[in-house]
Structure 1
Amino acid sequence: MNKCGIFITIEGTEGVGKSTNIAFIRDWLKQKGIEMVDTREPGGTPLAEEIRELLLAKRDETVDSRTELLLMFAARCQHLSQTIMPALEAGKWVLSDRFTDASFAYQGAGRELGFERLQLLENWSLQGFKPDLTIMLDLPIEVGLARAEERGEKDRFESEQIEFFKRVRAGYLAIAEAEPERMKVVDASGTIEQVQQQIAKVLEGFYAALEADS
């Protein structure tokens, strides 16, 4: 896949403050004069948003883990072809709330499907496409879930048991350990100012490296 823009993703478990910090990153990019597209997963296109509704809705029927995984990747393929790649090919930066790392963490680790079959699915459906930079907001699960409780009614994922989220967090940290150049872990347990100082440091380092290479 050919691209000339930059793709940044934000990851993390429930209650880590993704929305607040995505707004901070959006403002940081705008201050640099960077033209960008703001998107999310699952979602990012009309069809993918419909799949999101299917995935998040509580239901009496048990959702098979493989069904969940394949719906995630169906939405992701549509998102990539219709939103992400056209923006990147136009030279824009894309900022996404979650991407494939979320599937490795939530379905691979959380649902215990394992990383191996997800790797095969990723290679086939995305042809090796990965973000240029991923910022993982990390927080002890108990703290994140307490924050998430304050948001009101929970969706199907937010209603999972604490052990599920502990596996998800462990999955994210395993990815960060395996790919430290791409995925940067930010401690989200401090104040908003402290967290955003860390994010700014990551962004400044990434931006400086891009300018040095250009």
Structure 2
Amino acid sequence: MSKKPIIVFEGIEGSGKSHHISVVSRYLNKKKISFIRIREPGGNPNSEKIRKLILNNKSNFNQNTDLLLYMAARSENIDIIKKSFRKKVILIDRFTDLTIAYQHYGMGVDINLIKILNKYLLKNINVSFTFLNIVNQKNLQERLKQRKSLNRYDKFKTSFYNKVQNGFLKLSKKQKNKYQLINSNLDIVKNEKLILSKIDKLIK
């Protein structure tokens, strides 16, 4: 594995992935290790414009449009990733498995179409390791209630989030050596230590 890996943080809403990627970012800064951090959808000015469209509460796109908007945002990020690939550690808040979990397992879009589009965009770029943050229904709802504002993807039914999280778990089982489950229902400090311990192994 490259010592400048691509490390992805996946998970449904309220699972703590954004918190943990922030912890890792501070850790790498402290260690003076060169890295970039992006999020999906979003990551650069063009992708952020698309993000606003996807998450806007007034948007009501069908599942195919949603998929293509996610892919469009990803397409804008690929140049950024290519420039840093194997030169810097790359941290990504959701990436390719996001679209499989949400658009296929959650919304029913053809998985082969998603795989074809991902392959076309990524070419020889591969994710090195993924932290999958999981959360139970109770904590998910409590954390969403604590948010100052909710976007379109924060307002789906519990059954949808269950399908998406189960989809993530299926993906993790197919790539056991490249996935680590983080149970965000447990103590957050212990999870931070667990993740940073793995980060050390990935970059050294």
Please confirm whether the aligned pair reaches a TM-score higher than 0.5, indicating the same fold: yes
* Structure 1 residue runs of 4 or more that deviate by more than 6 Å after TM superposition: none
After TM superposition, the structure 1 = structure 2 runs for residues 55-94 of structure 1, keeping only pairs within 5 Å, are 55-59=54-58, 62-81=60-79, 83-88=80-85, 91-94=87-90
1:4: Cα distance to partner?
8.0
Cα gap change, 1:88/1:127 in structure 2, threshold over 3 Å: closer, same or farther?
Answer: closer
The corresponding residue for 1:194 is 190
The corresponding residue for 2:173 is 177
Structure 1 range deviating more: 24-33 or 166-175 = 24-33
1:191: Cα distance to partner?
1.8
Mapped partners of 1:169, 1:128: distance in 2: 27
Deviations 1:140-190 (A, max 9, x none): 133223212111221111111111100110111011000112221111111
* Backbone CA RMSD of aligned residues: 1.8
Mapped partners of 1:62, 1:10: distance in 2: 27
Residues 57 and 152, structure 2, Cα contact 8 Å, conserved in 1: yes
Deviations 1:53-79 (A, max 9, x none): 0000012x6311000001100110110
Deviations 1:102-158 (A, max 9, x none): 111111111121422211221222225321111111111332232121112211111
- Structure 2 stretches lacking a partner, 5+ long: none
Mapped partners of 1:140, 1:66: distance in 2: 28
After TM superposition, the structure 1 = structure 2 runs for residues 1-214 of structure 1, keeping only pairs within 5 Å, are 5-59=4-58, 62-81=60-79, 83-88=80-85, 91-207=87-203, 211=204
* Count of residues paired in the alignment: 203
Tell me the amino acid that sits aligned with residue 54 of structure 2: L
User: What SS class does the counterpart of residue 157 from structure 1 fall into?
Assistant: helix
1:9: Cα distance to partner?
1.1
User: What SS class does the counterpart of residue 136 from structure 1 fall into?
Assistant: strand
1:205: Cα distance to partner?
3.3
Structure 1 range deviating more: 107-116 or 172-181 = 107-116
Deviations 1:30-89 (A, max 9, x none): 343311112111111111110000000012x631100000110011011011x2111225
Identity %: 27
Mapped partners of 1:163, 1:19: distance in 2: 22
Residues 72 and 103, structure 1, Cα contact 8 Å, conserved in 2: yes
